[in-house]
Amino acid sequence: MSTPVIEVEKLNLKYGDFHAVKDLSFEVRPGELYALLGTNGAGKTSALETIEGHREPTSGTVRVFGHSPRDRKAVRPRMGIMLQESGFSPDLTVGESVRLIGQLTGRTDDVGRVLDVVGLTRKAGTLVSQLSGGEKRRLDFATAVYGTPELIFLDEPTTGLDIQSRDALWESVDRLRENGSTIVLTTHYLEEAQQRADRIGLMHQGVFRRQGTVGDLTRALPSHIRFAFPDGPALPLPSSADGNTVVIETFELQKDLHLLLGWAQDNGVELRDLSAGPTSLDDVFRSIEA
Amino acid sequence: MFAIARSELIQMFRNRLVLVTSFIMPVAVSAFFIYRHEAFATIGSLGYIAAIVMFTVGAFGLYTTAVTTLASRRQNLFLKRLRSTAADDRSILGGLLLPVTVLSVVQITAILTVFGAVSGKPGSIALLAPAAVAIVAMMVGLALATAGLTNSPEHAQVTTLPVSLGVIAVASWVGISGTEELTLLKRLLPGGAATEMVVDAWNGSASVILLAPTLAWVVVAVALAARLFRWEPRR
């Protein structure tokens, strides 16, 4: 197996008495899209900023490309960082900002090409102070992908973006992945992680509560079958009620759904508003907070 | 470093408020002193005017602007953005402070050249130059330290007052009353020995030893800055 791009071992981060990250260990392999998810205040931004090299760990080690992430000269030319908050000077234009930050990464690229990727070509001469929130996110993404780095950190990349910009951003990420880039993502939109992440680390109160593929995480919880409360004979499966909706929890979705549909057919019962599906990440999230 | 300095220069000229406080204000004050130099020379000496020019540019142009710039770049997370690149901390700070520092040196040189043309050549340019460099270095060091205690550009209007008014007061006191009395105290105060050196160098010749207290203040300021300076806003 190839050497990991990121290695985190027993990472601890404390602010005074507050223990933000506890004994976090994980790896990110080349070409992976790894999503670091968590409830508010779970410590994911603290963890991410330590891996990016913005913070020094209280204990434990972090290796990026085999180096300390604090060794900027060694690691930064190979990685792009999209910060959670903007951090651009309001008195510089979009083009000037990309040129400055791009140049400082140590990579080479064409400012025009990068602006084209994020759809800001026509804003090249506009001052950052005049950009909308979504445009600032795209500018941030532009500086992260300048020079097509091997590793890209995306800290809540789509917050504040409209649906078209969001789709465009994910399309660019897909293209970067085709070129072999490794992506580390945090997001509040669990659907994005569910659709795109190869693996997910789920943090709660500073520790990993679950780690694995989307399938690993969702299979740990039962699937759900829902339908409007029907008239007729007793149901063939144990169920619970959620208002007027019947909810059946099952680890054998296909078998139980077949049983239920057969029962409905035989008894001439109409199952209105029928839906059935695997657990979503949302449910996994709710279960860790419970 | 030079890429950051270039962008900093662009920002300085786009932000008129900064340009007025850092550039126009010290020039206006200095112009007044040169215009009334005969009156000020009777209070102190011509050398006293040279010292006041250096400290006006150093305190209100260089020091105040540097503190305001650093606080502003930290507040809008521009410092964090720069630290997300391969640039190291020294070149980031160097790039941010280079334009305002160079501008101040150019200002001091230009104003004193005009002053020399109006009132007669200074006694020793070779001694004035190191004194000016020491003053600039001390003000940059103090700016780095003060920036650590300053949360926002607005806050800088308050946090810069003690040092900027303090060094002007010391320069005026030493420049007008000389150092025959309270010699040690006057020389140890920040800007005191530098003022004495500038006054003496302009009026004739000065002792190089007078550089020592100013350079000591540079060391103190840099040590304070290393403890106090923060790269990210407090949460």
Reduced to 3 states (helix: H, G, I; strand: E, B; else coil), residue B134 is helix
pLDDT band with cut points at 50, 70 and 90 for residue A84 = confident
Cβ pair B156, B150 in contact under 8 A: yes
* Residue B235 predicted with pLDDT over 70: no
Chain A residues near residue B71 by CB distance under 8 angstroms: none
Tell whether B112 is within 8 A of chain A (Cβ).
no
Tell whether B173 is within 8 A of chain A (Cβ).
no
Per-residue pLDDT at A280: 80
Tell whether B230 is within 8 A of chain A (Cβ).
no
Residue range A38-55: average pLDDT? 90
What lies within 8 Å, CB to CB, of B70 at 6+ separation is B79, B96, B143, B144, B147, B150
What is the CA angle A86-A96-A73, rounded to 5? 70
Could you tell me the pTM of the whole model? 0.89
* Residue B215 predicted with pLDDT over 70: yes
Rg (CA), chain B: 18
B 3-22 → A contacts, CB under 8 A: 3-4, 7, 10-11, 14-15
Per-residue pLDDT at B64: 95
pLDDT band with cut points at 50, 70 and 90 for residue A65 = very high
Cβ neighbours around A161 below 10 Å, total = 18
CB spacing of A103 vs B3 below 8 angstroms: yes
Q: Which residue of B has its CA nearest to A85?
A: B77
Tell whether B121 is within 8 A of chain A (Cβ).
no
Residue range B181-193: average pLDDT? 95
Q: Between B14, B73, B85, which is nearest A104 by CB?
A: B85
pLDDT band with cut points at 50, 70 and 90 for residue A91 = very high
Per-residue pLDDT at A279: 80
**What ipTM describes this predicted complex?**
0.91
| Best B18, B72, B84, B91 residue to mutate vs chain A (most A CBs within 10 Å) | B84
Task: Work out how many CB contacts closer than 8 A connect A with B.
Answer: 67
Chain B residues near residue A67 by CB distance under 8 angstroms: none
Per-residue pLDDT at A48: 94
Q: Compute CA distances A157 → A28, A78, A90, A169, B112, whole Å.
A: 19, 19, 20, 8, 53
- Residues B95 and B72: their CA atoms lie apart, in Å, by 15
Nearest CA distance, B72 vs chain A (angstrom): 9
Tell whether B91 is within 8 A of chain A (Cβ).
no
pLDDT band with cut points at 50, 70 and 90 for residue B171 = very high
- Residues A97 and A120: their CA atoms lie apart, in Å, by 12
Sorted by where each begins, the domain ranges of chain B are: 2-228
Sorted by where each begins, the domain ranges of chain A are: 6-218, 222-289
* Residue A4 predicted with pLDDT over 90: yes
Nearest CA distance, B4 vs chain A (angstrom): 7
Per-residue pLDDT at A171: 95
Nearest CA distance, B21 vs chain A (angstrom): 17
Per-residue pLDDT at A243: 86
Per-residue pLDDT at B70: 96
Per-residue pLDDT at A1: 57
Nearest CA distance, B109 vs chain A (angstrom): 29
Nearest CA distance, B10 vs chain A (angstrom): 8
pLDDT digits (tens, 9 = 90+) for B127-146: 999 999 999 999 999 999 99
Nearest CA distance, A179 vs chain B (angstrom): 22
Q: Which residue of A has its CA nearest to B235?
A: A15
- For the beta sheet containing A240-242, the strands, ordered from the edge strand earlier in sequence to the opposite edge, are A240-242, A245-250, A223-228, A275-277
CB spacing of A100 vs B73 below 8 angstroms: no
CB spacing of A89 vs B15 below 8 angstroms: no
- The contact set of A with B (CB < 8 A) is 52, 54, 72-73, 76-77, 81, 83, 85-92, 96, 100-101, 103-106, 127, 143
Per-residue pLDDT at A290: 65
CB spacing of A104 vs B11 below 8 angstroms: no
Give how far the C-alpha of residue B118 lies from the chain's centroid of Cα atoms, to the nearest Å.
24
CB spacing of A91 vs B3 below 8 angstroms: no
pLDDT digits (tens, 9 = 90+) for A95-152: 999 999 999 999 999 999 999 999 999 999 999 999 999 999 999 999 999 999 999 9
Chain B residues near residue A52 by CB distance under 8 angstroms: 84
Per-residue pLDDT at A240: 87
Per-residue pLDDT at B161: 96
Per-residue pLDDT at A288: 78
pLDDT digits (tens, 9 = 90+) for B25-77: 999 999 999 999 999 999 999 999 999 999 999 999 999 999 999 999 999 99
pLDDT digits (tens, 9 = 90+) for A181-238: 999 999 888 888 989 999 999 999 899 888 899 888 888 888 889 999 888 788 888 8
Nearest CA distance, A17 vs chain B (angstrom): 15
Higher pLDDT, A92 or A1: A92
Chain B residues near residue A86 by CB distance under 8 angstroms: 76-77
The CATH architecture that domain A6-218 belongs to is 3-Layer(aba) Sandwich (3.40)
CB spacing of A89 vs B73 below 8 angstroms: yes
pLDDT digits (tens, 9 = 90+) for A247-281: 999 989 999 999 999 999 999 888 999 999 878 88
CB spacing of B76 vs A86 below 8 angstroms: yes
